[in-house]
A = this chain, B = another copy of it.
Amino acid sequence: MSKGLPKRSENYSEWYNELVKRADLAENSAVRGCMVIKPYGFAIWEKMQRALDDMFKATGHQNAYFPLFVPKSFLEKEEEHAEGFAKECAVVTHYRLKSNPDGKGLVVDENARLEEELIVRPTSETVIWNTYRNWIQSYRDLPILINQWCNVVRWEMRTRLFLRTAEFLWQEGHTAHATREEAIEETARMLGVYATFAEDWMALPVLQGAKTPNERFAGAEDTLCIEAMMQDGKALQAGTSHFLGQNFARSFDVQFTSREGKLEYAWATSWGLSTRMMGALVMAHSDDNGLVLPPKLAPIQVVVVPIFKTEEELAKISEKMVPVIDQLRAAGVSVKFDDDDNQRSGWKFAEYELKGVPVRLAIGMRDVESGTVEIARRDTLSKESKPLEGAAAHITELLDEIQANIYKRALDFRESNTFVVDTWEDFKTQIENGGFIVAHWDGTSETEEAIKAETKATIRCIPFNSVEQAGNCVFSGKPSSKRVIFARAY
């Protein structure tokens, strides 16, 4: 169980890999770079999906579904986009296997070669904009506000569970608008939805800002992002929202008649958030004992472990606990009552710690006599004895408190690991210790690339809340008007 989980301080990377596997979140599959998301991990992803989907619908979006395959010619149409994705894509060339004429097994049937190769979608801008051409004739057809939940494939060479996998699950929003302003507004709105989701649901504080041109999505005019800090001080890009201008409308000839009767190209946005967020969730909050899950995303929010020797004892404990459990469930709390007698309670305690269950209740015969229950918090690992009377209300409040505490802990961590740096010497020293560096940058790609080459740090974002301030680029010494965020990143 948690015995033998590597310590974060000793090997953060191993700790993560082991924790994802031992907590039953995911495992590597036999297919290179593809993962199996196990039921416990998938239950968390389902909660994420539900929360996001509700927010998408509340902001006027509808779900739809577009094909898995992208014809090669579609990918070619938007040049930057093609360049960005061509090098890492799964290519379907044939549509049939046949029995091996020279022996056992199956071989590709060369008579079933596709006239045009199909790419397994790495993202769906091309397929969707090719479809939108038929949907958009007039300004009255706009806006189109669509999202899809699906799988995508990017043939990454080095993969890690959740963080970087050849196949991953995500949602991708694709909207079309009559004006530039409306599309820019949508881009910002959806970044806001992601930030709210990260902070309110994942308990993950995020910086909001824009990417530098170097780091933009292939085909975008502007890429907004939310960036989070992991416990090793590295950054993780947690969601992106792109203003695509008229690039895809031009590539796929999507024109509409405006209110003024003119023919114009539609304006586009796209925005995505993936199972990568599962990795962020683990890396941001968990500890050497296992997962620490924010209550709002925990599949099991409260586990009850009865401590008993006989069936009679179990019956007495159940009698006391059932009303509490009923009250919790009535309040919408998911509760597991674990009366499995094949495992000792010590084993169970360790198991639920590993799985990150926010609140654990333990109750034995002494508690039954005194009318109390032991309440343990996963986030602080603290315990207290409380009267059964009123326990449900207390636990409901406690779940909110844990949610807030996990967020605050992550925010404190980020703040104490964010450094304002003004000299190149300080930059080089600081980046070795991890964290976010807030420094002036001269705005050129050359400087950005030189800094990356020397320190592996990238500009995570030009934060929205950055104030105008005259200064000098930390690398080149050239004038700069605002500070940006540098970090090493996942």
The residues of A with any CB-CB pair to B shorter than 8 Å are 27, 29-31, 34-39, 42-43, 45-46, 62-76, 82, 86-99, 104-106, 108, 117-120, 127, 130-131, 134, 140, 146, 150-151, 153, 155, 167, 169, 342
Most buried by B among A36, A75, A117: A36
B62 and A43 within 8 A (CB): yes
A68 and B153 within 8 A (CB): yes
A91 and B92 within 8 A (CB): yes
Which of B62, B73, B92 makes the CB contact (< 8 A) with A92? B92
Residue of B nearest to A117 (CB): B108
Q: Count copies of this chain in the complex.
A: 2
Residue of B nearest to A98 (CB): B86
With A89-B96, A97-B87, A155-B95: A69-B34 Cβ-Cβ less than 8 Å: yes
With A106-B76, A146-B39: A86-B96 Cβ-Cβ less than 8 Å: yes
B91 and A75 within 8 A (CB): no
- What residues on B are CB-neighbors of A153 within 8 Å? 68
With A86-B106, A106-B86, A118-B90: A96-B65 Cβ-Cβ less than 8 Å: no
A46 to chain B, nearest CB (A): 6
A38 and B63 within 8 A (CB): no
With A43-B63, A97-B75: A34-B91 Cβ-Cβ less than 8 Å: no
Residue of B nearest to A29 (CB): B67
Which of B67, B96, B130 makes the CB contact (< 8 A) with A87? B96
Whole-angstrom CA separation of A261 from B275 in the bound complex: 40
B95 and A91 within 8 A (CB): yes
B89 and A97 within 8 A (CB): yes
**Given A29-B127, A42-B64, A43-B62, list of 5 further CB < 8 A pairs?**
A37-B65, A65-B169, A86-B106, A87-B97, A97-B119
Residue of B nearest to A92 (CB): B90
With A90-B95, A95-B88: A131-B36 Cβ-Cβ less than 8 Å: yes
